[in-house]
Amino acid sequence: MHNLLAWIVLLPLVGFVANGLLGTRLAAQRLGPGWVSVIACALPIASFVLTLIACGALLSSGQPRLELAYTWAEIGGQELQVAFWFDRLSAVMTLVVTGVGSLIHIYSTGYMKGDAGYARYFAYLNLFLFFMLLLVLGRSLLVMFVGWEGVGLASYLLIGFWFEDPAKAAAGKKAFITNRIGDAAFLLGMFLLWQSLGTLDLDRINAAFAASPAPAVSASLVGVLLFIGACGKSAQIPLHVWLPDAMAGPTPVSALIHAATMVTAGIYLVARLSGLYLQAPEASQVIAVVGLATAFFAATVAVVQTDIKKVLAYSTVSQLGLMFVALGVGAYAVAIFHVVTHAFFKACLFLGAGSVIHALGGEQDIRRMGGLARRIPRTFATFAVATAAIAGIPPLAGFWSKDEILWFAFASSRGGAAWLWLLASVTALLTSFYMFRLLWLTFFGRSRMTPEVEHHVHESPWSMTGVLFVLALLSAVGGFIHVPQFLEPLMPLPAVQPERAALQGTLIGVAIAIGLAGLAGAAWFFGGDAARAGAWRERLTGLHRLLSAKYYVDELYEAALGRPLRWLSERVLLQWGDRRLIDGTLHLAAGTARVAASLFGALQSGSLHRYAFYVVLGLLAALAWSVRHV
């Protein structure tokens, strides 16, 4: 097919237009919701099939596929083209986006059944897929940026999907505004690249930085600016605050956008520009440190969260941090590997959490769950597999990708260090611990549900659990897909420091031990005596309060940014600028006119005698003038 890539991108847009324009009217019919679901699911699946065809072509030809759609603008002899670029990296990302995306669409038909905004929901979901595909398939940084902003928009619409609730609408705004900060830096990076290279095509940027002489722009400066953009989208410190709040959206949205695909856009951006980052060791160092800090802090916060979705949200932030560590030490392909496996098990976990919430009629607090393993066995089985996968229990998917990240954090010749590995390993231990804690509190032990919730517990329909099984299977075997080897021609793995090469076996052993230690720790804490965790909480009250409050980051931002800004707006801009300066000027002009009008209006009294008197005055004045001048 000639326009294969364009069709992959456009099919979800067709779904958005169809459901967006007709959906609400259609859903009112008796068979309407069925049609809405068919439109919503068939088009992403069609995109997935087309992606498979494109992948086949890519593998047989070995050449990246380039499709020019049209010329967007021509500035000073430079053309800005809308073009699609399909190489091995785009292939992996597109497969994840359309594949996991399709699965989550199918799941959503069960989860969102009966919601008043059913058609609107699917329209937004399709819109998201369209922008996400634009992001991963765009050849130019500009096209990518359009997708980048578009997924932000879709994310905003879906976080605030139940906009009648002010807290949820506020969460949507928070996500959107936080992302704007990163986008500003992204734009600055783009401007610098355009100014110095005269092109925004990603492959040309990479080639320009690989060539000698190097371009006359600091790769580290551009790298850091683009990374700030990535921080916003991928929820890294200090712009991570929006992602936990984004859980206000429907659970499948959390799975698709805020775990599996959109938040990995930052990883994709850095990996896509690996040619630039290879020339920017300082920027890479920044990425590794920020990623590690995010991974560690988010993992500690996740240990004490009590909302099932919040635990998973912080887990996502933490895993994204680990991916950035891999990017920072030059192991770009490994980061993408973790993106893929993370998409499988985190989607499975979120959808499993959705299934739990569905079963309990909206309950999200794990302190009021427990003992669900026997009541909803299909959800439990898949959730357990995904938990083991993210905890790094071999041979499940998470083990392979996380082990490679730890290995390159330790041994990469591009910035690998023992302390990176140590902190990353502690993070992995915490990950394993809080994930098994979640599993235990939700599915094992005695039931802590209220009687009426307990009465309602029911397993979800097959449209939901079937998807869970597919994702659980992928979480189990996803590690055997050799993504780094597949990406080897595009972005080779960094060289290993020779003196550390011998330690690989030991490190794998340690990684396995860490996964099992987390499991054992969680079992010891939450498996046996229920009072044990409580006793530890008593002992570490201060720490527990600090972690529960998420290190007071929101409060800090509120005090350092929110309140001064509000004071500035209220006092200076509103009271002085708006009320006094602008309103004051207008009031002055209006007041002058009013006073003048009342003066001259008094002259016109309606009394003929007074008018005649004015005539006399006029005559006298004319006489006086003529006496003086004639």
Partner 1 sequence: MDRVNFLLAISMGLFAIGLLGLIVRRNLLVMLMCMELMLNGVNLSLVTFARHSATLDGAVMVFLSFIVAAAEIAIAIPIVLLLVRQRRTLDAGAYDRLKG
Contacts of 528 (CB under 8 A, 6+ apart): none
**Which C-beta is closer to partner 1: that of 450 or that of 605?**
605
Q: Is 617 in the site for partner 1 (CB under 8 A)?
A: no
Look-up of token digits 């920027």:
283
**Which C-beta is closer to partner 1: that of 567 or that of 613?**
613
Euclidean distance between CA atoms 424 and 119, whole angstroms: 43
Q: Is 524 in the site for partner 1 (CB under 8 A)?
A: no
**Which C-beta is closer to partner 1: that of 53 or that of 615?**
615
Q: Is 626 in the site for partner 1 (CB under 8 A)?
A: no
Q: Is 604 in the site for partner 1 (CB under 8 A)?
A: yes
Where does residue 245 rank: exposed (0-12), middle (13-18), buried (19+ CB within 10 A)?
buried
Establish how many alpha carbons lie within 13 A of residue 233's alpha carbon, considering only the half-sphere containing its beta carbon. 33
489 upstream amide cis, omega within 30 of 0: no
Q: Is 616 in the site for partner 1 (CB under 8 A)?
A: yes
**Which C-beta is closer to partner 1: that of 207 or that of 620?**
620
258 near 343, Cβ under 8 Å?
no
**Which C-beta is closer to partner 1: that of 116 or that of 617?**
617
Q: How far is the CB of 626 from partner 1 (least distance, A)?
A: 15
> Degrees (nearest 5) of the Cα angle 284, 401, 377?
135
Q: Is 60 in the site for partner 1 (CB under 8 A)?
A: no
For helices 118-137 and 32-61, angle between their N-to-C axes, nearest 10 degrees: 10
Contacts of 458 (CB under 8 A, 6+ apart): 359, 376
Q: Which stretch binds partner 1 (CB under 8 A): 102-110, 285-293, 425-433, 610-618?
A: 610-618
For helices 141-159 and 219-233, angle between their N-to-C axes, nearest 10 degrees: 20
386 near 353, Cβ under 8 Å?
no
Q: How far is the CB of 594 from partner 1 (least distance, A)?
A: 19
Contacts of 91 (CB under 8 A, 6+ apart): 51, 54, 55, 58
335 near 585, Cβ under 8 Å?
no
* Pairing assessment for the beta strands 78-86 and 65-75 based on DSSP bridges: antiparallel
**Which C-beta is closer to partner 1: that of 541 or that of 604?**
604
Q: Which stretch binds partner 1 (CB under 8 A): 106-114, 168-176, 276-284, 600-608?
A: 600-608
**Which C-beta is closer to partner 1: that of 540 or that of 620?**
620
**Which C-beta is closer to partner 1: that of 34 or that of 618?**
618
Which DSSP helix (H) or strand (E) runs through 66? strand 65-75
Q: Is 613 in the site for partner 1 (CB under 8 A)?
A: yes
- Total residues at the site for partner 1 (CB under 8 A)? 10
Q: Which stretch binds partner 1 (CB under 8 A): 29-37, 312-320, 535-543, 599-607?
A: 599-607
Q: Is 621 in the site for partner 1 (CB under 8 A)?
A: no
432 near 398, Cβ under 8 Å?
no
Q: How far is the CB of 598 from partner 1 (least distance, A)?
A: 15
**Which C-beta is closer to partner 1: that of 556 or that of 620?**
620
Q: Which stretch binds partner 1 (CB under 8 A): 141-149, 292-300, 400-408, 598-606?
A: 598-606
**Which C-beta is closer to partner 1: that of 31 or that of 616?**
616
> SS3 of 217, please?
coil
**CA 207 to centroid of chain Cα atoms:** 29
Return the residue of 367, 374, 446, 609 that touches partner 1, per CB under 8 A.
Answer: 609
Q: Which stretch binds partner 1 (CB under 8 A): 65-73, 402-410, 521-529, 607-615?
A: 607-615
**Which C-beta is closer to partner 1: that of 608 or that of 627?**
608
Contacts of 159 (CB under 8 A, 6+ apart): 168, 171, 172, 175, 245, 246, 248, 249, 253
Alpha-helix residue ranges (DSSP H) falling in 257-365: 265-272, 274-278, 281-304, 308-328, 332-359
Which DSSP helix (H) or strand (E) runs through 74? strand 65-75
Q: How far is the CB of 609 from partner 1 (least distance, A)?
A: 5
What are the phi and psi torsion angles at 85 (to 5°)? -130, 125
Q: Is 462 in the site for partner 1 (CB under 8 A)?
A: no
Return the residue of 606, 626, 628, 630 that touches partner 1, per CB under 8 A.
Answer: 606
213 upstream amide cis, omega within 30 of 0: yes
Return the residue of 61, 541, 607, 626 that touches partner 1, per CB under 8 A.
Answer: 607
Q: Give the amino acid at 194.
A: W
Q: How far is the CB of 624 from partner 1 (least distance, A)?
A: 16
Q: How far is the CB of 623 from partner 1 (least distance, A)?
A: 11
Return the residue of 605, 622, 624, 625 that touches partner 1, per CB under 8 A.
Answer: 605
| Interaction residues for partner 1, span 118-147 (CB under 8 A) | none
**Which C-beta is closer to partner 1: that of 604 or that of 626?**
604
Residue 365's DSSP bridge partners are 307
Q: How far is the CB of 595 from partner 1 (least distance, A)?
A: 20
Q: Is 612 in the site for partner 1 (CB under 8 A)?
A: yes
Euclidean distance between CA atoms 355 and 525, whole angstroms: 26
Residue 86's DSSP bridge partners are 65
Q: Is 608 in the site for partner 1 (CB under 8 A)?
A: yes
322 near 337, Cβ under 8 Å?
no
**Which C-beta is closer to partner 1: that of 70 or that of 600?**
600
Binding site for partner 1 (CB under 8 A): 604-609, 612-613, 615-616
